[in-house]
Structure 1
Amino acid sequence: MKKVKWLSPLIAFSVLLSGCVNSANPQTPAASSGTSATAETTGESAVKPNLTVAYSEGGTTLDPAEANDLTSDTLVLATYDQLVTYGIKNVDGADIANTEDIQPMLAESWEVSADNTVYTFKLKSGVKFQSGNPVDAEAVAYSFDRVGKSSSGSFLYGMAAIKSVTAKDESTVEVVLNNPNHMFLQIIAMYTFSIVDQKAVEGQNADYLKTNAAGSGPFKLEKWDPASEAVFTANETYWQGAPKLGKVTLKFTKEASNRVLLLSKGDVDMSIEIPPKDVNSLQGNNELNIQSNASNRILFFAMNNKVKPFDNVKVRQAVSYAIPYDELLSGVMYGQAKQMKSSVASNTPGFTDAGYVYEYNLDKAKALLKEAGYENGFTFDFTLGSGFDDWEDDAVLIQAELAKIGVTMNINKLARAQFLEKQKENNLTSYISKWTSFVNDPGYHLGFLLYGKGSSNYINYQNAEVDKLWEQANNETDQQKRSELYKKAQEIINTEAPWAYLYEYNRIVGMNKNISGYAFYPDEVIRFYPLSKQE
């Protein structure tokens, strides 16, 4: 017997997780360049405003199944759609995604079997890809299958516990799971599971979607040059209504100071990744609105749990007591972060700081080193990846404090690309790293980073009890019981200190005050639909 999870019609104005398309869609001509674009759906001439946004990086791919950086994710979410999306809630005057409120998107409704292992989705009728091909069940099955076979998305496919995806008829898709999974709907709301136009892709070369796109979303990609800019134009026949913007241009501007300058001068409408040190001055500009939202992005001081001396829990705890937390928050982050007190961000459902006892206390740190057999200290190598000013500032401050307890920290700098490759080898002794959980759930976060078999468990943390609790929680359908299991896992991790927790970032986006419709999502990607601009 099946229980109905969603049967209401798709709300026409639900906020999107959208994606990208390319200029090679001859059926849908792009708007001409210039300062405005013209809407044609009503037969009337209506000038639409254009939006320009400063980004730091140019992206690496347009393929939803392979995208894994902020700009690539943005390219995908600009013109692709997914089966489901998140609702929006207002918290202290700011609109943020409600990750516990799953809303229909391309799926009009769905049912779930009594054992929570079979999801049957009914697709919204009449929706078309930008090519004119229908969005049908075959396209959904094809898109999910691509994720399962991809290099970047396959772990998510496994985390979602997907066993099979079958097109039952043109508008019905059946997804069978290996076991009940409370994160399934949240995971398939991600850009990774965007629905791809199978008919447009078939017959193309294997890497066609890396530089081309085939979606059904609100914007078309007119141009993408990772060295300079990406340009989107409105999809005037979009099934949820034409966008309020005629064109969106992403200006790739590596230097943060230049992004701040462009925003201050009004040369761009929005800018992402605003440095914390610039927030106060920008907030003094009456023409700007600076959004600073608590995020799921965390920063931690990683210690390889299989490498001496960090295989000793007392050493890891000693390091945690030697961190100058207040100085990091005020001197490095200028108040645009909060102290991290668990292995998951504090705004994650099921968060607990039980077992967290660490505060700046060098006497306690020295005592723990003595108990661990390192009364005279030790020397270790620390690898610093480039690209983030706060990482280097943090490392220098921590190095100075560790020296006070007899510990010598040798800082070795690496270019970011090299750092990421070395990190994946699981043998770096120590480093600073950040993480953003796109699914706001402890299972997602711990499953990647601290589960014994986690794909991003680069510090070799192994705890059989934590693994057991994670596995039990993933199969638990009762939310309260699941939360308690995750809390027990966090308490163990907090006590064992596989990392020294540093801070939780605020996500800072600057925009002109004439921009409306912005909402913060845990993946930190701006949704350009339904943004609007008053001119």
Structure 2
Amino acid sequence: MTCELTALTLSLAACGMGGGNSTGGSGSTGARSIVIDEPFGPVANWALETDDAFVLSKLGCLETLAKYDTSGSLKPMLAESWTQSAPKTWDITLRQDVKFQDGTPLNASAVAGALKHGLGAKAPVSAFSPEAIAGVEAVGDSTVKITTVAPDALLPYRLAAPNTGILAPKAYTGSSIDPKGTCTGPFRITKVIPQQAVDLKRNTSYWGGSVKLASAEVRFIADGAKRATQVQTGEAQIARKIPVASVQDLKGGSGASVRTQELPRTTELVLNNKKAPFDRTEVRQAIQAAIDTKAITDAVYPGAARPAVGPFAPGEPYTPDGSDAVRADVAKAKSLLAKAGVDPASVKMQLIAYNEGPGFADLAAVIQQQLKAIGVRVTIKTADYASVEPDLLSGDFQATLLSRNHLGDMPDPLGYLTADYTCKGGYNLSHFCDPKIDALIRKAASTKDAKARYADYAQVAAALQARAVDVFLVHETESVAVASGVKGYAVHPYYSLTAGLSVGK
């Protein structure tokens, strides 16, 4: 679902980098600068097994072997092609004449080294971990052979995740990753102000052709209202993840637009399936039945979300047929608790609402009131995500709010389902384990036919919803404020600053 909303009349002021009419490099047609406001900056010294890889990809620096384009299709990027030569073997043919920004060639040895570095991380990502990947080998100068642990039809999808991005060998020689001069993308990093901003300049030797912008500044601003204001004042030309209140403020003019797109992202109430009383299916189902997702959507996300029907949204090819949001039913919730032999007064839930979550403070307060109606007492704990993640991963918690992108780990739900809902999943915050679900997800991984694979995902989704493994609350949208004169921008989970992006009258 995409739409454009007209916004307050804004004038496109001089760009924050001060480069309005600068010239030079790579056959540019509009040698200008741009300022982009992002909500999250790097927090792990650019470690590619973390979300820092997504930041580096959005900066137009990091590139991957395959690309997930705006239509949802998988296309070659640094790879020219790929072939599954055996059930457990893929041959990746690299694009010719690509150079890293330090001038060294992109060859099979460099690519294999980069991928092996990711495999050797202390906590490798589920999309490309030793549990899925058996080995990576350079064959000659332009072919990389990847061997999987089990037959894997989705290896190219794994290679489109920013976490499998490719940097030059020297990026890995220090105590932390150094992306300066070691990317292949259209922009090279010139300056990093920790937790604040990154300055970039055009890569004049970009393999992909002309880069329209001369330079860019990407700012990391946690306050969504401030991001919106900077587009209003002309301090920035693009601001991502604009809060609902700011979207409403921007309505009414024609100088800028707010582009709102439904994301493959769902906000959920994660229940610790290993901690009593949430280890009882009936108790989790009672919590699910007590929550009014429509009221939550109207109160917390007016016009910016819709009630969740499970982990996947209506219209997605892996959503079970006939899926509908669970309707609030207080009587049913009380009956389920009685069936489980649980006195509602004995259920004292501590709900974590981490500060970075979109609208989580308000959402937690609504849930607190809705569960009060069935006699369940909820206390709310707020904190930065980094401070609560260790407890979430170890299982030392009862319940948490979570915003999760099911195409974030890789551009197919396999990565998300593997990480979140398999017994050994690296991000299984629910601490849910069912060998039958594991087997179904493994089966999907080896299924080449997309329709059949999506049917397997739908079975998993139906089981998660029916058993209330988590309580899926709303399917999210993202609103981006875009100043007039910006061309070539598309809302995308992996890319923001691209070769085709430009500003001008």
TM-score by length of structure 2 reads 0.89
Q: 1:310 to 1:165 in 2, by over 3 A?
A: same
The aligned residue for residue 214 of structure 1 is 182
The question of whether the paired residues in 2 share the 8 Å contact of 1:220 and 1:233 is answered with yes
Following superposition, the deviation at residue 372 of structure 1 comes to 1.6
AA at the equivalent of 2:359:
D
Q: Which is worse superposed, 289-298 or 438-447? A: 438-447
How many residue pairs end up in the alignment? Answer: 486
The one-character-per-residue Cα deviations of 1:413-435 (angstroms, maximum 9, x if unpaired) are 33332122221221211111111
Following superposition, the deviation at residue 249 of structure 1 comes to 0.6
- Distance in 1 between the 2:217 and 2:235 partners? 12
Q: 1:442 to 1:71 in 2, by over 3 A?
A: closer
The question of whether the paired residues in 1 share the 8 Å contact of 2:98 and 2:105 is answered with yes
Following superposition, the deviation at residue 178 of structure 1 comes to 2.3
Query: Is 1:410 the counterpart of 2:393 in the alignment?
Result: no
Q: Report matched runs for 1:52-67 at 5 Å.
A: 52-61=35-44, 63=46, 65-67=48-50
Q: Report matched runs for 1:446-485 at 5 Å.
A: 446-485=417-456
AA at the equivalent of 2:163:
T
- Distance in 2 between the 1:447 and 1:67 partners? 17
Q: Report matched runs for 1:104-253 at 5 Å.
A: 104-113=76-85, 115-158=86-129, 161-198=132-169, 200-201=170-171, 204-207=173-176, 209-210=177-178, 212-253=180-221
Query: Is 1:276 the counterpart of 2:244 in the alignment?
Result: yes
- Distance in 2 between the 1:444 and 1:110 partners? 20
The aligned residue for residue 328 of structure 1 is 296
Following superposition, the deviation at residue 117 of structure 1 comes to 2.5
Following superposition, the deviation at residue 376 of structure 1 comes to 4.6
- Distance in 2 between the 1:493 and 1:459 partners? 11
* Identity value in percent: 23
AA at the equivalent of 1:531:
L
- Which runs of 5 or more residues in structure 1 are unaligned? 1-31, 90-97
The aligned residue for residue 228 of structure 2 is 260
Q: 1:134 to 1:62 in 2, by over 3 A?
A: farther
Give the alignment partner of residue 435 of structure 1, picking from 393, 404, 413: 404
The question of whether the paired residues in 2 share the 8 Å contact of 1:128 and 1:134 is answered with yes
Classify the secondary structure of the residue corresponding to 1:350. coil
In angstroms, what is the RMSD of aligned CA positions? 2.4
- Distance in 2 between the 1:228 and 1:476 partners? 44
- Distance in 2 between the 1:82 and 1:452 partners? 29
Following superposition, the deviation at residue 512 of structure 1 comes to 0.9
TM-score by length of structure 1 reads 0.85
AA at the equivalent of 2:194:
P
Query: Is 1:420 the counterpart of 2:389 in the alignment?
Result: yes
Classify the secondary structure of the residue corresponding to 1:443. helix
Classify the secondary structure of the residue corresponding to 1:459. coil
Q: 1:150 to 1:51 in 2, by over 3 A?
A: same
The question of whether the paired residues in 2 share the 8 Å contact of 1:36 and 1:246 is answered with no
Q: 1:86 to 1:459 in 2, by over 3 A?
A: closer
Q: Report matched runs for 1:31-42 at 5 Å.
A: 34-41=19-26
Classify the secondary structure of the residue corresponding to 2:276. coil
Q: 1:39 to 1:506 in 2, by over 3 A?
A: same
Classify the secondary structure of the residue corresponding to 2:231. helix
The question of whether the paired residues in 2 share the 8 Å contact of 1:344 and 1:351 is answered with yes
- Which runs of 5 or more residues in structure 2 are unaligned? 1-16
The question of whether the paired residues in 2 share the 8 Å contact of 1:62 and 1:213 is answered with no
The question of whether the paired residues in 1 share the 8 Å contact of 2:47 and 2:53 is answered with no
- Distance in 2 between the 1:268 and 1:375 partners? 54
Classify the secondary structure of the residue corresponding to 1:298. strand
The question of whether the paired residues in 1 share the 8 Å contact of 2:161 and 2:411 is answered with no
Q: 1:397 to 1:524 in 2, by over 3 A?
A: farther
Give the alignment partner of residue 488 of structure 2, picking from 488, 508, 517: 517
Give the alignment partner of residue 281 of structure 2, picking from 294, 313, 316: 313
Q: 1:201 to 1:385 in 2, by over 3 A?
A: closer
- Distance in 1 between the 2:32 and 2:131 partners? 40
Following superposition, the deviation at residue 205 of structure 1 comes to 2.3
AA at the equivalent of 1:109:
S
